[in-house]
């Protein structure tokens, strides 16, 4: 029995970027919300296809809507490392 996740060709792309770090942040966001995701490197040989490629985050179609909502919420309210949100302050005081 294999412990590797099954490779599902039916996964849908919910996010793409040229920055691996950004893809990993989105992957972590989805994982922390209980949405299983896969990060796929789409890099093409830059000497042949300059600027082509990137990193894709893909999810099961059943979780696509939730994943897109989470990503959209994150983009609308990005967390800043040096600026805690009022929500964080409220939680600390509770």
3-state SS, residue 2: coil
* pLDDT (tens digit per residue) in 29-87: 999 999 999 999 876 665 666 666 788 999 999 999 999 999 999 889 876 554 444 44
Beta sheet of 12-17, edge-to-edge order: 12-17, 55-59, 37-41
- Phi/psi region, residue 61 (left: phi>0; alpha: psi -120 to 50; beta: rest), is alpha
Output the domain CATH number for residue 46.
3.30.70.1530
Between 2 and 69, name the one with better pLDDT. Answer: 69
Report phi then psi at 86, rounded to 5.
-60, -30
| Total of domains in the chain | 1
- Which pTM value belongs to this model? 0.66
pLDDT at 54: 84
Query: Does 4 map to a domain?
Result: no
Which residues span the domain enclosing 29?
A: 12-93
Among 59, 13, 10, 7, CA closest to 33:
59
């Amino acid at each position: 029995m294999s412990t590797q996740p099954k490779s599902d060709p039916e996964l849908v792309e919910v996010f793409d970027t040229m920055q691996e770090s950004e893809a990993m942040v989105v992957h972590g966001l989805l994982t922390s919300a209980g949405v299983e995701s896969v990060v796929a490197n789409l890099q093409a040989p830059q000497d042949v296809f300059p600027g082509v490629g990137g990193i894709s985050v893909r999810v099961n179609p059943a979780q696509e809507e939730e994943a897109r909502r989470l990503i959209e919420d994150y983009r609308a309210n990005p967390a800043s490392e040096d600026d805690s949100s009022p929500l964080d302050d409220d939680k600390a005081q509770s």
